[in-house]
Amino acid sequence: MNFDFPALITVLTVILLLAVAINVGRARGKYKIDAPATTGHPDFELAYRVQMNTVESTVAFIPALWLFSYYVSTIWGSVLGGLWLIGRVWYAIAYCGDAKKRGGGFGLSFLAFVILTIAALIAIIRQML
Protein backbone atom coordinates (compact mmCIF):
# COMPACT_ATOMS: atom_id res chain seq x y z
CA MET A 1 0.00 0.00 0.00
CA ASN A 2 1.11 3.52 -0.75
CA PHE A 3 0.31 6.00 2.00
CA ASP A 4 1.63 9.14 0.29
CA PHE A 5 -1.79 10.75 -0.14
CA PRO A 6 -3.07 10.16 3.42
CA ALA A 7 0.31 11.49 4.61
CA LEU A 8 -0.19 14.60 2.46
CA ILE A 9 -3.67 15.15 3.93
CA THR A 10 -2.16 14.77 7.41
CA VAL A 11 0.54 17.38 6.71
CA LEU A 12 -2.05 19.77 5.25
CA THR A 13 -4.14 19.27 8.39
CA VAL A 14 -1.13 20.17 10.53
CA ILE A 15 -0.70 23.31 8.41
CA LEU A 16 -4.38 24.16 9.02
CA LEU A 17 -3.81 23.76 12.77
CA LEU A 18 -0.82 26.08 12.54
CA ALA A 19 -2.81 28.64 10.53
CA VAL A 20 -5.68 28.81 13.03
CA ALA A 21 -3.18 29.07 15.91
CA ILE A 22 -1.41 31.96 14.16
CA ASN A 23 -4.79 33.60 13.63
CA VAL A 24 -5.48 33.42 17.38
CA GLY A 25 -2.09 34.97 18.10
CA ARG A 26 -2.81 37.74 15.61
CA ALA A 27 -6.21 38.36 17.22
CA ARG A 28 -4.61 38.45 20.69
CA GLY A 29 -2.33 41.25 19.53
CA LYS A 30 -4.99 43.14 17.60
CA TYR A 31 -7.53 43.09 20.44
CA LYS A 32 -4.96 43.23 23.27
CA ILE A 33 -6.02 39.94 24.88
CA ASP A 34 -3.14 38.76 27.06
CA ALA A 35 -2.58 35.05 27.55
CA PRO A 36 -3.96 33.00 29.24
CA ALA A 37 -7.26 34.88 28.77
CA THR A 38 -9.68 33.24 26.34
CA THR A 39 -12.38 35.91 26.40
CA GLY A 40 -12.51 39.56 25.50
CA HIS A 41 -13.30 41.04 22.13
CA PRO A 42 -15.96 39.04 20.21
CA ASP A 43 -13.72 38.72 17.12
CA PHE A 44 -10.93 37.27 19.27
CA GLU A 45 -13.40 34.80 20.74
CA LEU A 46 -14.46 33.73 17.22
CA ALA A 47 -10.83 33.09 16.24
CA TYR A 48 -10.24 31.20 19.47
CA ARG A 49 -13.36 29.02 18.99
CA VAL A 50 -12.30 28.23 15.41
CA GLN A 51 -8.93 27.06 16.73
CA MET A 52 -10.43 24.95 19.52
CA ASN A 53 -13.11 23.45 17.27
CA THR A 54 -10.47 22.60 14.67
CA VAL A 55 -8.23 20.93 17.26
CA GLU A 56 -11.17 18.97 18.68
CA SER A 57 -12.23 17.80 15.23
CA THR A 58 -8.68 16.90 14.19
CA VAL A 59 -8.19 14.63 17.20
CA ALA A 60 -10.95 12.36 15.87
CA PHE A 61 -10.26 12.89 12.16
CA ILE A 62 -6.61 11.77 12.01
CA PRO A 63 -7.18 8.24 13.38
CA ALA A 64 -10.30 7.86 11.21
CA LEU A 65 -8.31 8.89 8.11
CA TRP A 66 -5.50 6.44 8.80
CA LEU A 67 -7.71 3.52 9.82
CA PHE A 68 -9.85 3.98 6.70
CA SER A 69 -6.74 4.31 4.53
CA TYR A 70 -5.23 1.13 5.96
CA TYR A 71 -8.32 -1.08 6.05
CA VAL A 72 -10.35 0.27 3.12
CA SER A 73 -8.54 2.44 0.56
CA THR A 74 -5.73 4.97 0.58
CA ILE A 75 -7.18 6.79 -2.43
CA TRP A 76 -10.72 7.04 -1.08
CA GLY A 77 -9.38 7.86 2.36
CA SER A 78 -7.45 10.71 0.80
CA VAL A 79 -10.47 11.94 -1.15
CA LEU A 80 -12.61 11.91 1.98
CA GLY A 81 -9.74 13.45 3.95
CA GLY A 82 -9.46 16.18 1.34
CA LEU A 83 -13.19 16.85 1.67
CA TRP A 84 -12.81 17.02 5.45
CA LEU A 85 -9.96 19.50 5.03
CA ILE A 86 -11.93 21.65 2.57
CA GLY A 87 -14.87 21.58 4.98
CA ARG A 88 -12.69 22.70 7.90
CA VAL A 89 -11.15 25.56 5.92
CA TRP A 90 -14.64 26.60 4.75
CA TYR A 91 -15.84 26.36 8.36
CA ALA A 92 -12.96 28.49 9.68
CA ILE A 93 -13.41 31.23 7.09
CA ALA A 94 -17.19 31.28 7.44
CA TYR A 95 -17.12 31.21 11.26
CA CYS A 96 -14.79 34.21 11.48
CA GLY A 97 -16.88 36.11 8.92
CA ASP A 98 -20.33 35.30 10.32
CA ALA A 99 -20.69 32.47 12.84
CA LYS A 100 -24.18 31.67 11.53
CA LYS A 101 -22.71 30.69 8.13
CA ARG A 102 -20.41 27.95 9.42
CA GLY A 103 -22.92 25.13 8.82
CA GLY A 104 -21.89 24.17 5.29
CA GLY A 105 -18.24 23.69 6.18
CA PHE A 106 -19.14 21.84 9.36
CA GLY A 107 -21.56 19.59 7.47
CA LEU A 108 -19.02 18.67 4.79
CA SER A 109 -16.27 17.87 7.28
CA PHE A 110 -18.65 15.97 9.57
CA LEU A 111 -20.01 13.86 6.69
CA ALA A 112 -16.49 12.94 5.54
CA PHE A 113 -15.55 12.05 9.12
CA VAL A 114 -18.61 9.86 9.62
CA ILE A 115 -17.97 7.96 6.37
CA LEU A 116 -14.30 7.43 7.26
CA THR A 117 -15.21 6.19 10.74
CA ILE A 118 -18.09 3.88 9.87
CA ALA A 119 -16.36 2.36 6.85
CA ALA A 120 -13.18 1.75 8.88
CA LEU A 121 -15.19 0.12 11.66
CA ILE A 122 -16.99 -2.17 9.21
CA ALA A 123 -13.72 -3.12 7.48
CA ILE A 124 -11.99 -3.88 10.79
CA ILE A 125 -14.88 -6.06 12.00
CA ARG A 126 -15.02 -7.90 8.65
CA GLN A 127 -11.31 -8.62 8.85
CA MET A 128 -11.69 -9.94 12.39
CA LEU A 129 -14.44 -12.37 11.39
Give me the pLDDT at residue 97, please. 87
Which domains, and CATH codes, for the chain? 4-128 (1.20.120.550)
Per-residue pLDDT of the chain (129 residues; tens, 9 = 90+): 899 999 999 999 999 999 999 999 999 999 999 999 999 999 999 999 999 999 999 999 999 999 999 999 999 999 999 999 999 999 999 998 888 899 999 999 999 999 999 999 999 999 999
Q: By the 8 A CB rule, do 6 and 71 touch?
A: no
pLDDT tens, position by position, 33-67: 999 999 999 999 999 999 999 999 999 999 999 99
- The reported pTM is 0.94
Give me the pLDDT at residue 55, please. 98
Give me the pLDDT at residue 89, please. 97
Give me the pLDDT at residue 93, please. 95
Q: Determine the Cα–Cα distance for residues 119 and 69; give it in Å rounded to an integer.
A: 10
Give me the pLDDT at residue 99, please. 84
Contacts of 59 (CB under 8 A, 6+ apart): none
Q: Is 32 left (phi over 0), alpha (psi -120 to 50) or beta?
A: left
